[in-house]
Structure 1
Amino acid sequence: MPGASRSHLLFHDPPMSSSAPRHPTLALAAICLAALMFGLEISSVPIILPVLEARLHADFQDLQWIMNAYTIACTTVLMATGTLADRYGRRRMFAFTVLAFGMASLLCGLAPSTPMLIAARFLQGMAGGAMFICSIAILSHQFPDGKARGRAFAIWGVVAGIGLGFGPVVGSAIIALASWHWVFLAHAPLALLGLALIMAGVTESRDPLARQQKLDLAGIVTLTIAVLGLTWLITQGGGLGWTSPAALGLMAVSVVGLVAFVAVERFHPHPMFDFAVFRIRDFSGAILGCIGMNCSYWPFMIYLPLYFSAGLGYGTTTVGLALLVYTVPFLVMPPIAQWLLLRYQARFVIPAGLFLIGLGFMSMKWGSGLAHLGGWTVLPGALIAGIGLGLTTTPATNMTTASVPAHRAGMASGMDVSARLISLAINIAVMGLVLVAGILAALRATLGTTLDAARLRALAEQLAGGDVAGAQQALATLALPDASAALLQAAMTHGFGWVMLYGGLGAWLTAVLSFAVFGRRQAPAARDASPRMAGGR
């Protein structure tokens, strides 16, 4: 997942019951396979969005929801899965979620329409998020010894990174050899293989004390309503009219959901979010690093394939190869980031990584203006952004859990994962809004006197979804003398330039905020003395 955190810490360490150990190698294979499927489903789907737009007649909002349904659904199950796995058995829950992921993937691959695909993606996201959390909990329990655990987590991290980094190439290869359906259908046999490995190798375990904990259902529901309402507002607000009753109603639902969530978390005995941890500077600075990555790098993963394919005219295979420049640095930089973290502290490394992400986006924006020289002009910026992500991820992951007392590490890790997914879902929608606005501004400058506002917006959304041919046909029917492919390409480039500017400024803003929040390095005793941190709520 985007900037995957040390989610094994979601499961604390009170006395546990477990069955006899089985085969650690097979267990590790099952866990790594789950991580591979989860990562591939995030990074391989963006590559097929232009194909879905053409085959399923999906509009721009549909494409956003195809991605966001998965992300939002992951958020809804994070904390509940941990409690249920502790209570009913981690191996049992893991097997169930892997089976559910395979079945949901089948539904995605067989979806006959865009609404069905979005619904199936939501189910797939719920299963995928639960599968991810269960797999990390089992990994932590299956390998309790320090050396073996370190080796297991290192292998898991490499495999998860491969899924995220090479997903675009896998997706483009599948489309070249078969059809878009197999980007989803391929997970069904992998899920069956995963089930076999779980049955053969994973040790069952549960927490005897878990039944004493109450599931924070109110927190889950209110947070989901707030995020879903805000995402819906950002995605649909332009079409509805920002001052329309429907848009104002969505805004009210989002605000009420957020207020209710804060109130619920303050009084729940076992909350998903203990807001007191934000008093710890290292934790808050690291969370800003997580948010910075997910308001720039990760949401742009959704739109970059559209830029390469529709904006630059690349074929699917070329798009997949070009995206490697953006994703592969994420695989190779974490060891360097860890060395820098030990040498220079997180308060320098995390803001520096965010600064590099911002620099990469600004470089891509500059390069997009030189598209007449070839698409390669954006690749140096993409490489710099990937290096920045690799420098930010590991320190941010480590600091969110290492900065709080051990008995609060699970909750802190849950807040880390939730902050990443929520900010990702919101910024996928915001980047789409910015993209349409940028394209619309360019079209208005050239066609504003010949087309009304409604037709201009429809044309901008059509281009944002990658349907350049359809936009050309729409203009041809109007017999506009200035309607040319070059005009539409220029409008798309202008719109993506706005998105790149948004991502760069977002990364730089969070870099400054993170550096300011970290402040001077505190002594461990000072951090541990933070109010309410020493003894729960």
Structure 2
Amino acid sequence: MFEKYPTRPGAVLAAAAVAQFMVALDMAVVNVALPAIRDALGFEPVDLGWVVQAYALAFGGFLLLGGRAADLFGRRRLFVIGLAAFGVASAAGGFAQAPWQLVAARAAQGVAAAAVAPAGLALLTTTFAEGRARVRALGVWSAVNAAGGALGVLAGGLLSQYAGWRWVMLVNVPIVLVALALVAAGVPADGPRGRGRPDVLGAVLATLGVGLLVLGVIRTDRYAWTSPVTLATLGAAALLLIAFVAVEARASAPLVRLGLFRNRWVTGANVFVFLAAAGQFSAFYFVSLYMQEVLRMGAAATGAAFLPFSLGVVAGTIVATRLGDSRTPRTSMIIGALLASAGTAWFGLMSADGSFLTDVLGPSILASVGVGMCLAPVAAAATTGVASHEAGMASGVLNSARQIGGSIGMAALATLAAHRTGSASGPEALNQGYGLSLLVAGALFVAAAVVAITVLPTKGKTMSLATIDLFTAGIRIHEDGRVDAGERRMSGDADGWQVAAFRAETDADVHADHWEIHPDSEELVCLLSGELRFYVRGADAPTTLTPGTAVIVPRDTWHRLELGAPSDLLVITQRAGSRLEERAAGLPR
């Protein structure tokens, strides 16, 4: 799904990283300022939570729609619109004079972030090719994302204490301006990539279903899991999501193409991130509470205490990037999840009379390195083998899985901690509740590692087909059957060649038994226009061709291909036993 545009990859990476830093910062920066916001605007205690929940609800509810909109209307366009809207909403929140104004601004921020996050990730995955380049780019993006979350707690404490709570909102405005400047400097206009009419019904069902799911979960702080309110909300969400799946199965241009999950990389990565986010969000939440409620650390000190965590995440992304040069994302995800599990379980052993140095610093470093090793690889895995016109879709699904997993995990473990603590409110009782929940959070990371081991493809089981760039490699087809590919040259006898041209006027799914050329031949498949996904036996994910690329498919291995209309392709076949089988060893397979 790598696309070639007249672009500056560094500017794309910088713009996406700055935008993700802003999104992560905003999710954390407000929490510390809640007491000051309550006093300044006169929030009722029972309503103060909506400052956080309005954002989470809008963000989670609109992520799938934001991802698909990026495909339909252009990733750069949606990225810019989302950034501008986020800046306006932040300014409106900073000047809010009443509680409802701030809550409305936070909801608007959530909707804007649901456009920025998947569009930014899709820009990255379509700018940097699968493999080393993409893993490195996602490593930078992930490190900045983690730094935004960790620094958000510190910035919230410092801003609310020394500059006033309004600056926790207004701080986003200059960040937006920097991101927009980077977009103007080197992010090209990509234009719409999706085909067909927008899936309006699917968008409505998904937004309402996911929104109600997030709402039902985050409101368990007021209504018990078994209360009629919670059961009704979650039941309605389940019905809407079931209807959404039924609609997507029949839609011509679905919001989420269900066939996407036949790709084991996509399925495994999303289940992994759901479980890992449930553990990570919970750990972050309970460790913050432990430092403030048990160790009695102030807001600014608590924020500063997360700086080692941020540095550990950066270290983890560096390790994952280096591993990605020679290993698949699966390796880093397994190691990272196990390290994060060990660090989170270590947190669970903290004591009521402990200290930052003895109970927080060590597990912070171990868990953060593990989390850092997961962030970039899971994003790379979730977009492996995904067509460029579905990059936003895949990014939206990944972000939704992370948000829903984090919300459900944190709400469920908060209930577990409250049940363990009971009516007691002393440090010892609170510590017991936090510790139990952190042990369970560690178990969630173990479950994520098991998913990576059992679901994600292994290198030995996956056939890798490298694409040849027709434009830069200079492929030429001669009348006598010779094909030149850059400095490489393939020669075959004239009788051994068979050339066929195809044009797909409608989307097509062609299987081997319908193919006009014998499947026991070796073929050079060249895509001239349109888009093609090519499946071979033994491969867990398709090879995606974009215009100007080709792939050599060994004989007796290919299974089927999917063509997006309109598409033109040229297939050059060399029958078994011809001289093509003696080609240079360096030719891409």
TM-score category of the 2 structures, normalised to the smaller one? 0.7 to 0.9
122, 137, 145: which one aligns with 2:107:
122
Which residue number corresponds to residue 447 of structure 1? Answer: none
Whether 1:304 aligns to 2:287 is yes
528, 539, 542: which one aligns with 1:527:
539
Cα separation, 2, equivalents of 1:22 and 1:359: 42
CA pair 429-96 structure 1, distance change in 2 beyond 3 A: same
Which residue number corresponds to residue 314 of structure 2? Answer: 331
CA pair 37-22 structure 1, distance change in 2 beyond 3 A: same
Cα separation, 2, equivalents of 1:373 and 1:493: 10
Whether 1:174 aligns to 2:159 is yes
Deviates more, 1:151-160 or 1:65-74: 151-160
Cα separation, 1, equivalents of 2:217 and 2:423: 21
Bigger relative CO (Cα 8 Å, ≥ 6 apart): 1
Amino acid at match of 2:410: I
Which residue number corresponds to residue 301 of structure 2? Answer: 318
CA pair 78-213 structure 1, distance change in 2 beyond 3 A: farther
Amino acid at match of 1:169: L
Amino acid at match of 1:513: V
CA pair 286-294 structure 1, distance change in 2 beyond 3 A: same
Cα separation, 1, equivalents of 2:300 and 2:214: 31
Gaps of 5+ in 1: 1-8, 444-486
Cα separation, 1, equivalents of 2:183 and 2:363: 42
| Structure with larger Rg | 2
User: What do the CA deviations read for 1:117-151 (whole angstroms, capped 9, x no partner)?
Assistant: 33322210111221334445556778999999998
Which residue number corresponds to residue 516 of structure 1? Answer: 454
Cα separation, 2, equivalents of 1:391 and 1:28: 19
RMSD: 3.9
Which residue number corresponds to residue 391 of structure 1? Answer: 373
Deviates more, 1:353-362 or 1:216-225: 216-225
Cα separation, 2, equivalents of 1:55 and 1:314: 23
Q: Any residues of structure 2 matched to 1:433-444 within 5 Å, and which?
A: 433-439=415-421, 441=422, 443=424
Which residue number corresponds to residue 375 of structure 1? Answer: 356
Whether 1:355 aligns to 2:367 is no
- The structure with the largest strand share of the pair is 2
Amino acid at match of 1:491: A
CA contact (8 A) 1:364 1:379 kept: no
Deviation at 1:65, TM superposition (A): 4.5
Cα separation, 2, equivalents of 1:65 and 1:493: 27
Which residue number corresponds to residue 484 of structure 1? Answer: none
Which residue number corresponds to residue 100 of structure 1? Answer: 85
Cα separation, 1, equivalents of 2:286 and 2:305: 13
CA contact (8 A) 2:212 2:237 kept: yes
Cα separation, 1, equivalents of 2:180 and 2:374: 34
Amino acid at match of 2:353: H
CA pair 195-336 structure 1, distance change in 2 beyond 3 A: closer
SS at match of 2:539: helix
Which residue number corresponds to residue 131 of structure 1? Answer: 116
Report how many residues are paired.
474
Deviates more, 1:391-400 or 1:196-205: 196-205
CA pair 528-497 structure 1, distance change in 2 beyond 3 A: closer
Deviation at 1:24, TM superposition (A): 8.2
SS at match of 1:269: coil
- The structure with the largest helix share of the pair is 1
Which residue number corresponds to residue 275 of structure 1? Answer: 258
403, 407, 419: which one aligns with 1:421:
403
163, 173, 198: which one aligns with 2:148:
163
Amino acid at match of 2:373: L
TM-score (norm 1): 0.75
Which residue number corresponds to residue 474 of structure 1? Answer: none
SS at match of 2:349: helix
CA pair 251-92 structure 1, distance change in 2 beyond 3 A: closer
CA pair 373-517 structure 1, distance change in 2 beyond 3 A: same
CA pair 409-84 structure 1, distance change in 2 beyond 3 A: closer
CA pair 99-351 structure 1, distance change in 2 beyond 3 A: same
CA pair 69-220 structure 1, distance change in 2 beyond 3 A: farther
Over the matched positions of the two proteins, sequence identity in percent amounts to: 29
Deviation at 1:37, TM superposition (A): 1.9
CA contact (8 A) 2:312 2:365 kept: yes
Cα separation, 1, equivalents of 2:12 and 2:386: 30
Amino acid at match of 1:283: V
